[in-house]
């Protein structure tokens, strides 16, 4: 990193909420995430110098664009600060963080507010599935297709089966772990869905097929939610640390990051990677870039991972792409219990996109906030003991845009 | 500027084209703008390290999000480079430039590709007007309103009338100059619309009322178009200059910029500015920031302006906000011929949004490309003689997001 970028904290809305049913809109959601983030960090609105919004498709779900324009409506203290909205499908939140960090690294600003946001429960499931199709090549991969994304990530599973072999039990175990973890997270969407950890996952509605090899339990949720973050330069972080009776070294930073984009079409991706050891080589490269920038030798240098698990197949992919196993051998660490809460390298202690929820534009910022909570010992019931560093992996489209980070002290 | 950011050139598509009628989509539009930009600059695709897309609402107009994912579909040489899409309504193109520049200033990359793009002629005018309403607070300012933006910018004229007085003849003259200038621009949408400069502007369909005080002639066009730009660090720019037999000092740079966001609602803006000398004080501040960063004393240090003229009232506002006159006295320089082609400080030699066209997400990049052409003596028939520096002003929403720049040598 050319200049350090600190994470001072933030706020996640309760992902179990349905904002339309509460009579609230995306502007209210922005407002609650922002005011919650200011409260959590003890920062005053007038200290914020710039704001970035991560959002996938409020135009479709909420008939509203130009979300950056709402900051000054939320709080007059924001009037005049520069704002913008950033989008890379399900990686929109991370891309917003990347842009905020770039402006801090460039020396433009010392304190940035980032909000990832998505209100999705405004439409029926079929319409929502169709809207999500615009994260793929809509005309070629989604138009007229029922639930295009489960199909695409089912095909990711098919590709694993073809190249390395893949057993359904390992995907089911990924789902089980995420749902189980979510029960410890007081802001997870599914925290109250099961009376015991495994109920209904292997039979009943959660085992019903959705598309291709994927069942209901393999899919992340349709979620309303927002997550705010405050990012700071070294100058602001030092003042802030002093205010809180801390040293700047105690504040978490973005220690490394990777950002790569593959071709849009899943077919193009698979054709391109056919001779690569990795099914999504650009996702692998983003992870390699991240650890190189963080000057860390490998994934075992972090104490936990918050990964994209829009489907169980994407987490299965993340496991070998992070280097927990050789390519195609993700099943080994699943069987060994490595990725479970309490395991050697827990994945998605939060519950991930399957258990915690997946408000598309807020997922990257939610991952970063959970990383912040873990490395500052504020994750409560889902705290991983002795955590200094957490890796995140946020993916847009069918493996198209990847942003990875290592956050820690 | 913390580190210099150079503009190496780019490509504008012909804004008179209707891509749907040609059987082409937004991906083809991206492709033509990108390949044209590479040809124009002599840069190879494999040299590009990062790409940024500026786009307002392809989700609505084209049922497509995640536009950054198309780069690697356009040219396999882009596979793996980081991409993202940026949005701030009609200022989306400038915001994409701002983010690309931040990453270069931060030392992340040496060569960035930016594409501003919008395909708008996919829907009927009423639907298009409704889509544009999502650049304002849709629920409060646009829902159920026919052509919300002409109404909002009509109100900007009303506010001028109330505070300072405003004569229709001055707005009409702004329209006339823009249409007249567009006739010299071989890529302007309206270049062939009139057989002489004034025909039909004061009578006939161009004088028909649209909303409030605004007539057809006062409105920018519905346009399909894209503009690419190549932005470079000092390191790349020096190599590039050497290749072209130039010195780096001969390459245009972003000499200064300003980026400010006002409250979304027009009512909130007007209430906030009621005691300010300027009707849009944050737009004024973005301009002041720009000239301060460029270390230039005032607007008379540039030889031309490319301004946002989504409506004649926004150009009328730009004139006093740039400081060509005292607040409320824009009419003076209109009457004196200052802003005409050949005048002391020509505005929109390109024809602007009224004459050249307004493909929303491409307007900021188009302004920057026209600034590049002017300061490198490549503007052909619409070349302003002896130009070293051009100021740009790009606005999203009803004066909500403002990005201004000075581009030059």
User: A69-92: per-residue pLDDT in tens?
Assistant: 999 999 999 999 999 999 999 999
Alpha-helical segments (H) within A106-167: 125-132, 148-164
User: Nearest 5 degrees, angle CA A35-CA A37-CA A38?
Assistant: 65
Q: Give this complex's ipTM.
A: 0.98
**Contacts with A89 from chain B: Cβ below 8 Å:** 65-66, 69
Q: How many CB atoms lie within 10 A of CB B18?
A: 13
**What is the rounded CA–CA span in Å between residue A234 and residue A3?**
8
Minimal Cα distance from B88: which residue of A? Answer: A66
B337 lies in a domain? Answer: no
Neighbours of A199 (CB within 10 A): 13
Tokens 């489209």 belong to A397
**Cβ-based contacts of A271 with chain B (< 8 Å):** none
Q: Which tens digit of pLDDT belongs to each residue from A216-252?
A: 999 999 999 999 999 999 999 999 999 999 999 999 9
Per-residue pLDDT, averaged over A10-26, amounts to: 98
- Give the per-residue pLDDT at A1: 46
pLDDT score at A204: 83
Interface touch A84/B272, C-beta < 8 Å: no
Residue B370 included in any domain: no
Q: What is the mean pLDDT of residues A177-195?
A: 94
pLDDT of B227 above 70: yes
Mutate to test the interface with A, among B102, B104, B152 (most CBs of A within 10 A): B102
How confident is the prediction for chain A on average, in pLDDT?
Answer: 97
Which residues, in sequence order, are CB contacts of A250 under 8 Å at separation 6+?
Answer: A241, A409
Which A residues 284-343 touch B at CB under 8 Å? 285
- DSSP code at position B386: T
Share of chain B above pLDDT 70, in %: 98
Report, as an integer, the average pLDDT of A355-369: 98
Task: Note the pLDDT tens digit of each residue in A320-351.
Answer: 999 999 999 999 999 999 999 999 999 999 99
* Pick from B25, B263, B285: CB nearest A73: B263
Is B89 inside a domain boundary? Answer: yes
Q: Residue A169: its pLDDT value, please?
A: 96
Q: Which position has the token pair 């700047």?
A: A248
Residue B84 belongs to some domain of the structure: yes
CA distance A228 to B88: 19
Is B84 in contact with A99 (Cβ distance < 8 A)? yes
Q: What CATH number does the domain containing A42 carry?
A: 3.40.47.10
Residue B152 neighbours by CB distance under 10 Å: 28
pTM of the model: 0.98
What distance lies between CA B263 and its chain's CA centroid? 21
Helix, strand, coil tally for chain A in percent (to 5): 45, 20, 40
> Could you give the angle at the alpha carbon of B100 between the alpha carbons of A292 and A131, nearest 5°?
90
Looking at the predicted structure, is the pLDDT value of residue B1 above 80?
Answer: no
pLDDT of residue B198: 55
Contact A356, A15 (CB under 8 A): yes
Backbone angles phi, psi at A397, to 5 degrees: 75, -160
Q: How many CB atoms lie within 10 A of CB A216?
A: 16
pLDDT of B259 strictly over 80: yes
Phi, psi of A302 (to 5 degrees): -105, 160
Instruction: Among A70, A106, A285, select the one facing B105 at the smallest CB separation.
Output: A106
pLDDT digits (tens, 9 = 90+) for B310-336: 999 999 999 999 999 999 999 999 999
Express each pLDDT in A272-284 by its tens digit: 999 999 999 999 9
pLDDT score of A106 more than 60? yes
With an 8 Å Cβ cutoff, are A139 and B2 in contact?
no
Q: Is the pLDDT of residue B155 over 70?
A: yes
Using the predicted structure, report yes or no on whether residue A376 has a pLDDT greater than 70: yes
| Chain A residue with Cα closest to B397 | A66
Q: Over pLDDT 90: what percentage of chain A? A: 96
Is residue A407 a contact partner of residue A389, using CB atoms and an 8 Å limit? yes
pLDDT at A198 over 60: no
> Is B187's pLDDT higher than 90?
yes
In angstroms, the CA A36 to CA A16 distance is: 17
3-state SS class at A356 = coil
Q: Distance (Å, rounded) from C-alpha B200 to C-alpha B196? A: 9
What are the tokens at A101? 């960090």
Is B65's CB within 8 Å of A105's CB? no
Instruction: Please give the structure tokens belonging to residue A298.
Output: 């490998």
> Which chain A residues touch B107 with a CB distance below 8 Å?
2, 105
- Counting the structural domains of chain B, the total is 1
- CA triple B402-B404-B409, angle to 5 deg: 170
Q: Which residues constitute the domain of residue A89?
A: 6-123+223-243
How close are the terminal C-alpha atoms of chain B, in Å? 14
Considering only the beta carbons, identify the residue of B70, B139, B264 that sits closest to A264: B70
Q: Is B282 on the interface with A (CB under 8 A)?
A: yes
Q: Which residue of B has its CA nearest to A93?
A: B84
Please, what is the angle between helix B281-293 and helix B312-321, to 10°? 50
pLDDT digits (tens, 9 = 90+) for A244-257: 999 999 999 999 99
Closest chain A CA to residue B65: A134
What's the whole-number mean pLDDT along residues B167-183?
97
Compare CB distances from A80 to B27, B136, B260 and report the shortest one's residue. Answer: B260
Contact (CB, 8 A) for A8 and A240? yes
Q: Which of residues 239-268 of B touch A (CB under 8 A)?
A: 259-265, 268
CB contact under 8 A, B107 and A103: no
**Tens digits of per-residue pLDDT, A137-147?**
999 999 999 98
Q: How far apart are CA B369 and CA B230, in angstroms?
A: 10
Q: Which residue of B has its CA nearest to A72?
A: B263
Cβ–Cβ under 8 Å, residues A370 and A350: yes
- Nearest residue in chain A measured CA to CA from B49: A260
């Amino acid at each position: 990193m050319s200049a350090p970028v600190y994470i001072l904290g933030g706020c996640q809305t309760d992902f179990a909420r349905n904002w339309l049913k509460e009579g609230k809109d995306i502007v209210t959601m922005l407002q609650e995430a922002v005011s919650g983030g200011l409260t959590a960090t003890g920062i005053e609105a007038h200290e914020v110098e710039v704001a970035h919004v991560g959002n996938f498709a409020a135009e479709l779900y909420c008939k509203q664009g130009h979300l950056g324009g709402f900051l000054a409506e939320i709080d007059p203290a924001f009037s005049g600060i520069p704002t913008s909205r950033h989008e890379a499908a399900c990686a929109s939140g991370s891309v917003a963080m990347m842009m905020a960090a770039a402006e801090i690294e460039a020396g433009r600003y010392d304190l940035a507010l980032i909000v990832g946001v998505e209100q999705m429960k405004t439409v029926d499931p079929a319409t929502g599935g169709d809207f999500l199709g615009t994260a793929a090549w809509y005309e070629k991969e989604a138009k007229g297709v029922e639930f295009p994304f489960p199909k695409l990530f089912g095909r990711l599973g098919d590709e694993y089966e073809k190249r390395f072999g893949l057993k359904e039990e390992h995907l089911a175990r990924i789902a089980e772990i995420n749902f189980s973890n979510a029960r410890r997270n007081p802001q997870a969407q599914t925290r109250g869905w099961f009376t015991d950890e495994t109920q209904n996952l292997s039979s009943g509605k959660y085992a019903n097929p959705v598309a291709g090899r994927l069942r209901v339990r393999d899919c992340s949720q349709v979620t309303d939610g927002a997550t705010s973050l405050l990012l700071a330069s070294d100058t602001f972080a030092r003042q802030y640390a002093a205010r809180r009776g801390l040293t700047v070294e105690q504040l978490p930073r973005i220690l490394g990051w990777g950002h790569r984009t593959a071709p849009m079409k899943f077919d193009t991706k698979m054709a391109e990677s056919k001779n690569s050891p990795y099914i999504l080589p650009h996702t692998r490269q983003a992870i390699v870039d991240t650890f190189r920038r963080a000057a860390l030798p490998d994934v075992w240098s972090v104490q936990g991972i918050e990964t994209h698990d829009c489907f169980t197949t994407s987490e299965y992919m993340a496991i070998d792409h992070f280097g927990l196993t050789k390519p195609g051998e993700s099943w080994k660490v699943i069987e060994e219990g490595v990725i479970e809460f309490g395991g050697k390298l827990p994945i998605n202690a939060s519950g991930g996109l399957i258990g915690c929820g997946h408000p598309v534009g807020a997922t990257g910022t939610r991952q970063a906030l959970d990383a912040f909570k873990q490395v500052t010992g504020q994750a409560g019931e889902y705290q991983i003991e002795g955590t200094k560093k957490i890796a995140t992996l946020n993916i847009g489209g069918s493996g198209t845009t990847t942003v990875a980070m290592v956050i820690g002290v």
